Structure 1
Amino acid sequence: MSKTFAAVSTMVGTIIGAGILGIPYVVMRSGFLIGVLNMIVIAAILLLVNLYLGEIGLRTKTNHHLSGYAEKYLGKKGKLLMFFAFAFGVYSALIAYLIGEGESFSYFFFNSTDYSLYFGIAFWFLLSAITYFGLKALEEGEEFGIVVIFLLIISIAIFYANKIDVSNLTYNNPSLFYVPFGVILFAFLGFSAIPEVERILRKDKGLTKRVICISSLVTLIIYIIFTAIVVGSQSQPTPQLATLALGKVFIFFGILTMFTSYLALATALVDTFRFDFKKTKNRAWLYTICLPLPIFLILHFFNKASFIKILGIGGVISGTIVAALILLMIKKAKKLGSRKPEYSVPYSRILAWLIVLILAAGAVLEIWSSF
């Protein structure tokens, strides 16, 4: 396996998670072309930010995770803010996956979502136990997860491509142009993959820029194809979880996708508490699992358990803060970096502000529309 292929697989596998299951719903509301425009704009913004993050890594002699780079270039407060953004995104995703798994299991067994609360609770107990005991075969959830996702996409393409009705793709509602932003932003987030990519390419660092560009393009193409097939083939409104509209085989694929995504994120958060904040394994595990269930129960109690809204809010808040911190870090790294990088992306203060303003505006609209 070539280093480029291994690095691209790692990055694409990190980016593409269960967030893909929510894209068709929000795109169907705004219209396909508006959804694709959202994807292209977000992909372009995050490509630039990821290239900046890659350059930060190449300008730094020692390897770090996001919090480590933030501490090095922005100090303790930068580290804490980066951790908050990362943890907020992870907790949001874990809560959304409890909602999604509850609905999927309920629909799989009973053809309705009436029992989603009970299945969500059961799923939390199961994944909490697996996260604690650290089953080695399952800790590599992302590797298995990307295989499941590609099988899901290929299967949907085979079974539904000939059912696409072009008229479903021509509808557009400009007044809802902002609706897909949060979920699509969440689906494109993969900042944590960059340090791992650079470790894979430690003897071929010159390939870093190429890998980031290829991974971003592959992800964009997959999202557009998946969305076109699901939206184009459905005459009825798409549910918040796309797989619920496609039959039980695809519901099962969706269950596996959320399972592996939940496990990978929970494990990453446990490791962050353990290694970045020096917590014991038990305490790190408790910090990771203690929030999702009570928030999940509260949302159900008030009838606010929405897979899409949780992903959207998590995406815009986490993505905006992390991107802003990276834009601050690259400016410092260009001045204070300890090695010459294999590539350098020009820095523009105007462009950096424009990116932050776009993401912040998307965050405000996403949060405003959720209440």
Structure 2
Amino acid sequence: MMRFLLSVATLVGTIVGVGMFGLPAVTAEAGWLSIALITLIVLPVVALTHLAYAHVVVLTSSRARLPGYAGLWLGRSAKRVAFASQALGLVGSSLAYLVVGGSFLTQFISSVLPIPLWGGVAIFFLAGAILVWRGVKSIARAELVMVGIMLCAIVVLGIAALPSWQSANLAAISFTGTPWRAYGVLIFSLWGMSVIPEVAEVSSRRNLGEVVAGGVICSFLASALFVLIALGVSDGAISADALGSLSMHLGKGVRLFGFGFGVLATFTSYLTLTRVTVDMLRYDFHIGTVASFISATVIPLILLLMGFNDFITVLAITGAVSLGLEGILVMMIEERAVRERPQLKIFHMPSFVRNAVILLLCIGISLELLATIGVL
């Protein structure tokens, strides 16, 4: 049971992060109908791609990350594409966590001891770097505690927001912009594929399916609850990170609690994704441990210092394009692995399901790119 909880905690801790804070804003922009249709597409696509990646881990005897699996099963060109896609996704994710997590930590600490924004970012960065250096098992155990606190925090915020919560605010949500950013942010908010090999470390391979399903479903429910809380309290104005506008309707103590919750939600994901980047550089590209650690931690910080701080745009592009490419590659890898090692497979995915997932991800990438250049 403990191994199962550690596995689910690692996955939920990766998924429930900064993407959740972007969902209320893009939901208000896209409207309920659009977000419902997008969710009906995204939720099964995410679950199936994560399950396929877990299958790849089971079918492959050697330890690797997505680029390594792509190279092993699909060839060198696929390995390059996988590395570029996952590297961009991991760096973009870590950047978003630094931006929002550092901001939340600054506001949390400033209630007691005023500090500048860079101070909060520095503390967030250094604390994460120390835990990443200690390794995945310390991260998993930290997340088991943090995820429990984090889920309880959502409930507490909901209870505190009840006096200001109005169903009329939800009913007032309508289509006001474009749904394409919502697609990318929703993909991002539910994606935890990069940590599947870590999940395999602390779980039994025979219940990887249950771990993946439980992690994705728990993460979706937590995010959906947060969206309902944030939009129900807002009176038509929602900040990009949602927590900023939500805190305006709460007392000082609850505001402090809310920013603490925000720090936990972003910090758990930052820990795991940074560790995944380190392992990808070590195992797939045979870079030394110290060099991998420095690259994984410092590059997002440099990008932040260069002024890349529009986190909603980062979420949308990273989710639709980078993570979409990851999903396509995983489905292709899983098909090849099952074909070559059928005696080791633990479940059967019909070809039409696999092809449908690939098609939907291709459409999502195309629409996001067209929206980014202003065609849509």
The bucket for the TM-score relative to the shorter chain is: 0.7 to 0.9
User: Match of 2:373, SS?
Assistant: helix
Aligned to 1:11: 11
Question: 2:180, 2:105 → 1: CA distance?
Answer: 30
Deviation string for 1:18-42 (max 9, x for gaps)? Answer: 3212211211222244334323321
Q: CA RMSD in A?
A: 3.2
Structure 1: which amino acid aligns with 2:315? L
Aligned to 2:252: none
- % of aligned pairs identical? 25
Shift of 1:208: 3.4
Residue among 285, 290, 310 paired with 1:277:
285
- Correspondence 1:263 to 2:275: no
Aligned to 1:147: 148
Residue among 358, 362, 366 paired with 1:361:
366
Aligned to 1:219: 219
Shift of 1:240: 1.6
Shift of 1:324: 1.1
Structure 1: which amino acid aligns with 2:56? I
Deviation string for 1:316-358 (max 9, x for gaps)? Answer: 2221110110122122123212633221110127514422323
Question: 2:125, 2:223 → 1: CA distance?
Answer: 31
Indicate the larger mover: 120-129 or 98-107: 120-129
Aligned to 1:173: 175
TM (norm. structure 2) is: 0.83
User: Match of 1:339, SS?
Assistant: helix
Shift of 1:169: 1.7
Does the 8 Å contact 1:17/1:145 carry over to 2?
no
Structure 2: which amino acid aligns with 1:307? F
User: Match of 1:235, SS?
Assistant: coil
Shift of 1:129: 5.3
Shift of 1:280: 2.0
Aligned to 1:351: 356
Change (3 A) 1:92 1:369: farther
TM (norm. structure 1) is: 0.84
Indicate the larger mover: 262-271 or 50-59: 50-59
Segments of 5+ residues of structure 1 without an aligned counterpart are none
Does the 8 Å contact 1:181/1:362 carry over to 2?
no
Question: 2:68, 2:339 → 1: CA distance?
Answer: 18
Aligned to 2:40: 40
Shift of 1:69: 2.0
Question: 2:121, 2:17 → 1: CA distance?
Answer: 21
Does the 8 Å contact 2:151/2:222 carry over to 1?
no
Question: 1:338, 1:168 → 2: CA distance?
Answer: 53
- Correspondence 1:77 to 2:77: yes
Deviation string for 1:3-28 (max 9, x for gaps)? Answer: 65554444333322232122112112
Aligned to 2:21: 21
Aligned to 1:158: 159
Count of paired positions: 363
Shift of 1:49: 1.7
Question: 1:186, 1:342 → 2: CA distance?
Answer: 27
Does the 8 Å contact 2:56/2:334 carry over to 1?
yes
Deviation string for 1:80-120 (max 9, x for gaps)? Answer: 32222222112112222222134334544669xx9865346
Change (3 A) 1:35 1:149: farther
Aligned to 2:88: 88
Change (3 A) 1:331 1:138: closer
Change (3 A) 1:15 1:129: closer
Segments of 5+ residues of structure 2 without an aligned counterpart are 248-254
Counterparts of residues 44-83 of structure 1 (less than 5 Å): 44-83=44-83
Deviation string for 1:180-210 (max 9, x for gaps)? Answer: 11111111111134334445554x61x3334
Aligned to 2:334: 330
Change (3 A) 1:56 1:360: same
Aligned to 2:192: 190
Aligned to 1:305: 309
Does the 8 Å contact 1:32/1:228 carry over to 2?
no
Deviation string for 1:152-178 (max 9, x for gaps)? Answer: 212122212453322222221064222
Shift of 1:65: 3.3
- Correspondence 1:316 to 2:324: no
Does the 8 Å contact 1:144/1:260 carry over to 2?
no
Question: 2:80, 2:139 → 1: CA distance?
Answer: 26
Structure 1: which amino acid aligns with 2:34? I
User: Match of 1:290, SS?
Assistant: helix
